[in-house]
């Protein structure tokens, strides 16, 4: 949520000279993206986002991320696309960082999604899954079951600093998820971070999905489980079954779920809540004083995890 | 340099409905403006800046600031202008803050100004002084001699935490400036904060001056003295007399300086260096842990003050 790497006027002019996008008219750092530096750049031709990839992004993953965005745009998905320079390259180096010029996606993210937004999200997610099916690169999900075990170990005894008894809760849940994590479900490329701030709407219609920097290969319905956590709980912590229903129905208008996928929804939602609980707890325990990133409280995802643990039937998510 | 007040999609849509500017297409918080929250807003018609005034701006000053910007634009000065809503109002309330929609000024600020930029700056500054001459509101400069005395008192003994001997330096300089501050020089509206980040260039030409939130009535040449401090020193701390000369020559193409004004240049430069030394020292001594603002080191302005103290003849600033 900050400009980590300043780029000055001379540097941006020299950088943009490598593209066929006209002359720079305006260039401002924006408070978007938790992990990278983003600028909004207006040229005599159009608006763009210039992203400089900071240290939490592995440069080796960038061909996957940028290639995926490019692939999705060519398949008709509304997402921002990397722009080619005059030599056809999309990945650059600017101010010592890997960098890419990205097309500008209009729209605004919605803080408090309504039922209709959940339906549109489900549909867009399924369209993205289908469109990505023939993308030829793959990326392992570093934040799946094995990755969680690492985070559990790193948080260790300190978990109880966030909440008494949290360490035990993490160990028990980790053991449960390891023992019950589903296999044999349809896999493919998932977005893996489709929170409301990564989904744009304009005039009441979903206008695009952004921020593919957690995208990876994993169980497709796990992506839906992440959205269930991020979109279908109310501010007071209650799960809104109507929103869950709309999310699932929107998804199934494009890609119907199998019985096995529906049965796995509860454990996948547990896993998704666990994944965000762990990463938030880790960031919370390892806050850097004076850092420009706002650390999110892990409590929200403890409560969500407990909700999913108590689910006995997938109909509680709105499945019909 | 941060988004202090979040505004969500529903709030911005409701706000913009009060204007004839089309529908909101995009809305992003930007890292511009040290004291206020700024968003870049794109509508179906144009780009705008939405500013929410945070607690360091006195709401009673806003009619002066916004009225001045409006006045300057109507006089042909390149600056951002507040946009009227459907009822003709420019000052609004949004999310509990005074707020204004401002036209979008193209251009980029330059980190390392060259001679030519200093010449253009001098010219634009004089044009602004002339254009503001018939603006009918006034605002006292809270950061002139009396205001400095208050900051010296507030920093007190703690000044030596920044540099040994700084307290004595401040007391001596304060006494000197009080005793020698010039009177009878032409006064008018000054920008009072015309650092390189508040001046935009495009295609090598100055495209506008922004951020009028320190503007006030004071000695006109004091504005030039602020620019002398902010634009004519090199990164290594050396004063660049060529840049000083270009700045003055640019200014004099529009508004020639009197002999009295030239003679006062040195003390006005001392005063300007003292003013920024004091405010930076105050902010440095009163840092809020975790605050999103980057506090600037006072050392830079201690060195600049010492340079001006040693000046014996205004020709050392490039006057010919």
pLDDT tens digit string along B93-118? 999 999 999 999 999 999 899 999 99
Hey, is the C-beta of A88 within 8 angstroms of any chain B C-beta? no
| pLDDT band with cut points at 50, 70 and 90 for residue A294 | low
Q: How far is CA B194 from CA B73, B120, B216, B276, in A?
A: 17, 13, 13, 12
pLDDT number for residue A194: 97
Hey, is the C-beta of B112 within 8 angstroms of any chain A C-beta? yes
Distance from CA of A233 to the nearest CA of B (A): 18
Nearest chain B residue to A290 by CA: give it. Answer: B290
Hey, is the C-beta of B289 within 8 angstroms of any chain A C-beta? yes
Mean per-residue pLDDT over chain B, rounded: 93
Question: Region A151-166: what's the mean pLDDT?
Answer: 92
pLDDT number for residue B203: 87
Q: How far is CA B234 from CA B18, B111, B115, B122, B190, in A?
A: 47, 11, 12, 18, 24
Hey, is the C-beta of A56 within 8 angstroms of any chain B C-beta? no
| pLDDT band with cut points at 50, 70 and 90 for residue A171 | very high
Question: Region A14-20: what's the mean pLDDT?
Answer: 96
pLDDT number for residue B97: 95
Q: Is the pLDDT of residue A71 over 80?
A: yes
Is 3.20.20.100 the CATH number for B115-317? no
SS (H, E, C) B203-231: CCEEEEECCCCCCEEEEHHHHHHHHHHHH
| pLDDT band with cut points at 50, 70 and 90 for residue B55 | confident
Residues of B in contact with A51 (CB under 8 A): none
Measured from the Cβ of residue A197, the count of other Cβ atoms closer than 10 Å reads: 16
Distance from CA of B130 to the nearest CA of A (A): 27
Look at A107 and B25 and tell me if their CB atoms are within 8 Å. yes
Is 3.40.50.300 the CATH number for B9-103? no
pLDDT number for residue A56: 83
Of all residues in chain A, the percent with pLDDT exceeding 90 is: 86
Domain ranges of chain A: 9-103, 115-317
Question: Region B249-265: what's the mean pLDDT?
Answer: 97
φ and ψ at residue B237, rounded to 5 degrees: 95, -5
Q: Is the pLDDT of residue B32 over 60?
A: yes
pLDDT number for residue A24: 94
Of all residues in chain B, the percent with pLDDT exceeding 90 is: 86
pLDDT in tens, A117-144: 999 999 999 999 999 999 999 999 999 9
Residue A93 buriedness (CB in 10 A; 0-12 / 13-18 / 19+): exposed
Q: Is the pLDDT of residue A293 over 60?
A: no
pLDDT in tens, B73-89: 999 999 999 999 999 99
Hey, what's the torsion of the CAs at B301, B302, B304, B305, to 10 degrees? 110
Q: Which of A2, A5, A26 to mutate to test the interface with B (most CBs of B within 10 A)?
A: A26
pLDDT number for residue B293: 57
Q: Is the pLDDT of residue A291 over 90?
A: no
ipTM over 0.90? The verdict is no
| pLDDT band with cut points at 50, 70 and 90 for residue A287 | confident
Q: Is the pLDDT of residue B34 over 90?
A: no
Q: Is the pLDDT of residue B150 over 80?
A: yes
pLDDT in tens, A207-224: 999 999 999 999 999 999
Look at B106 and A42 and tell me if their CB atoms are within 8 Å. yes
pLDDT in tens, B113-139: 999 999 999 999 999 999 999 999 999
Question: Region B175-187: what's the mean pLDDT?
Answer: 97
Question: Region A41-51: what's the mean pLDDT?
Answer: 95
């Amino acid at each position: 949520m900050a400009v980590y790497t300043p780029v000055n006027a001379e540097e941006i002019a020299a950088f943009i000279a490598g593209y066929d996008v006209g002359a720079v008219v305006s260039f401002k750092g924006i408070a978007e993206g938790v992990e990278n530096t983003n600028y909004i750049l207006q040229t005599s031709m159009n608006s763009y986002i210039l992203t400089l990839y900071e240290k939490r992004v592995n440069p080796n993953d960038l061909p996957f991320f940028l290639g995926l965005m490019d692939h999705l745009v060519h398949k008709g998905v509304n997402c921002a696309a990397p722009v080619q320079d005059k030599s056809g390259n999309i990945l650059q180096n600017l101010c010592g960082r890997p960098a890419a010029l990205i097309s500008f996606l209009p729209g605004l993210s919605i803080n408090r999604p309504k039922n209709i937004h959940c339906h549109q999200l489900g549909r867009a997610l399924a369209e993205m899954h289908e469109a990505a099916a023939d993308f030829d690169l793959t990326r392992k999900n570093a934040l799946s079951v094995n990755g969680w075990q690492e985070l559990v170990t790193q948080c260790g005894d300190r978990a109880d600093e966030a909440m008494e008894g949290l360490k035990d809760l993490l160990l028990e849940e980790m053991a449960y998820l390891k023992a019950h994590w589903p296999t044999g479900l349809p896999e493919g490329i998932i977005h893996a971070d489709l929170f409301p701030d990564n989904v744009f709407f304009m005039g009441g219609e979903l206008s695009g999905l952004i921020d593919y920097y957690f995208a990876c290969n994993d169980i497709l319905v796990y992506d839906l489980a992440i959205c269930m956590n991020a979109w279908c709980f109310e501010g007071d912590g209650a799960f809104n079954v109507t929103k869950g229903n709309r999310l699932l129905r929107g998804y199934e208008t494009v890609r119907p779920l199998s019985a096995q996928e529906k049965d796995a929804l509860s454990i996948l939602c547990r896993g998704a809540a666990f994944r965000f609980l762990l990463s938030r707890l880790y960031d919370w325990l390892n806050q850097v004083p004076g850092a420009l990133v706002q650390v999110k409280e892990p409590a929200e995802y403890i409560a969500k995890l407990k909700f999913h643990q108590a689910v006995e039937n997938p109909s509680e998510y709105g499945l019909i």
